[in-house]
Structure formats: C-alpha cells, structure tokens
Amino acid sequence: MMDTGRYVSLDENEVKRLIRDNPWGTIVTDTAKGLIASHYPMLLENDGSSEEDAGGISIVSHVGKPDDDKLELGRHEALVIIQGPNGYISPGWYDKINVPTWNHVTAHLYGVPEILSDDENWAVLERLTHHFEDRMPHPVLLEHQEKYAREQMAMTAGFRIRVTRFEARLKLSQNRPQVADRIIDELDHGDNYRQPALADEMRRVHTPKATA
C-alpha cells in the first residue's frame, strides 16, 4: 500500500496559497435527494493581509439561484474541492522500472455554509470582480454598472464557509527525489505531457531539499 503520509499537508498557509492561485472550486453537499455538486469561483475571506487573518480559513462565494436550495446551503456541512496543477507522470521518466502515476495538488475543505446578507453578497461580488478585472487594461467593475449589477445579484445567493477541517495533498514525487529534476524538465519542456504549472509546484517541494 502506498504511504500517502508524505503527501499530506497540514499547513494552513499552503491551503490558502492553493485557493488564492486556483480560485475555481467544486462545492458538494449531501442533500435529502442525494449528493449534489456545483462549481463556482471561491475567494479567501481571510487572505493573510491582516493579523486577524492569521488563523483559520474562511472562503466566500456565491451560487446562482435556485442552486442554494438544491444544495441545501446552510442546513448541513458542505465539501469544497480546490484543485491545483495536476498531470500525468510517465514511468519512462524514472531511473528504474516503475508504473504510471499522476501528480497533483488538491485540498478538501469542510464547513457549514452561512448565507450572506445582500450587503455582504454585494461586497463579495465587488471583490470577486476586482480580483479578476484589475489586471485588465480597462477593468469593467460592478460599480461602473451598479443598477444592472444589483439586478443580477438578486439572482444569486452569497455564502461564507468557515473551514472546520481540511485535507490537503501535495503529491509531487516526494518519494522519487533522485529523478525529480528529470520529471520537472519533462513537465517544463517535454513534447507529450507538458505542464509548466505542475513543474513549478514540484520546484517548491524539491528545490529546498536540493539546496539544503
């Protein structure tokens, strides 16, 4: 059996980084009608910019109505899945016989959603828009079209999840440090399974060990 302990991360800052870098999440709830899943952008409410953000993970988002009823938001625990870079690792990249595998960075976040007030939802939607639009040459922001944006907001339900527990995995060939550089090179420059973002994740894990 594979020892997955080496891939587990208990570091809240690592999870926050993953959410910050990959703000698209899957929310899953176990409803009276069975499992329901939906997909929405997720933002850290506590992004580490102040002392109050130091402990705990809180995420905010919104769903389009009637997804809030379908997901039964606020009635029980929900699971949010955040998936970072991932990709196929060929056994041909190893220095001895091996089997194919898949490297990935993921986090499972658990908590009971809290439905936001209209004012809170507007603030989250404003921040969400700034998060993605500010880098554009001519940002199109909600405050530029507030009447229309508020009409659209009425068709959404904002929520907050204060994460009570999480399960994070950084599976990045920690068990094969002797071939990490070759795998990183294949992911950066290979002809078949190039994944530069995954190569960057591997560097974060392997480079400190190589320079220690």
What is the CATH number for 121? Answer: 2.30.110.10
Q: Is residue 183 part of a domain?
A: no
User: 157 pLDDT exceeds 80?
Assistant: yes
Token readout for 140 is 């199109």
> Is 125 in contact with 149 (CB distance < 8 Å)?
yes
Residue 38 corresponds to which tokens in the numbers above?
A: 């939906």
Number of structural domains found in the chain: 1
Q: Is residue 197 part of a domain?
A: no
Higher pLDDT, 40 or 210: 40
| Residue 206 belongs to some domain of the structure | no
Residue 195 domain-assigned?
A: no
| Assigned domain for 36 exists | yes
- The answer to whether position 80 is within a domain reads yes
At residue 109, what is the residue type? Answer: L
Q: Could you tell me if residue 185 is inside a domain? A: no
Q: How many CB atoms lie within 10 A of CB 184?
A: 22
Which sign, positive or negative, has the C-alpha torsion 21, 22, 24, 25? Answer: negative
What is the pLDDT at residue 212?
Answer: 37
Domain-embedded: residue 212: no
The pLDDT tens digits for 119-133 are 999 999 999 999 999
- pLDDT attached to residue 75: 96
Closest to 100 in 3D by CA, of 113, 82, 87: 87
Query: Given this model, what pLDDT does residue 98 score?
Result: 87
Range of 28's domain? 8-85+99-175
At residue 210 the predicted structure's pLDDT band, cuts being 50, 70 and 90, is: very low
Measured CA to CA in angstroms, residue 113 lies from 16, 42, 79, 83, 155 at distances of: 18, 13, 10, 20, 18
201 band by pLDDT with thresholds 50, 70 and 90: very high
**Partners of 55 in beta bridges:** none
Per-residue burial over 56-83, b = 16 or more CB atoms within 10 Å of its CB, e = otherwise: ebbbbbbbeeebbeebbbeeeebbbbbe
What CA–CA distance (Å, rounded) separates 169 from 163?
16
Residue 84 near residue 22, CB atoms below 8 Å: yes
pLDDT of the residue at 1: 33
Strand order in the sheet with 8-9: 8-9, 165-171, 101-111, 78-89, 24-31, 34-41
Average pLDDT, integer, range 183-199: 96
Query: What is the value of pTM for the model shown?
Result: 0.88
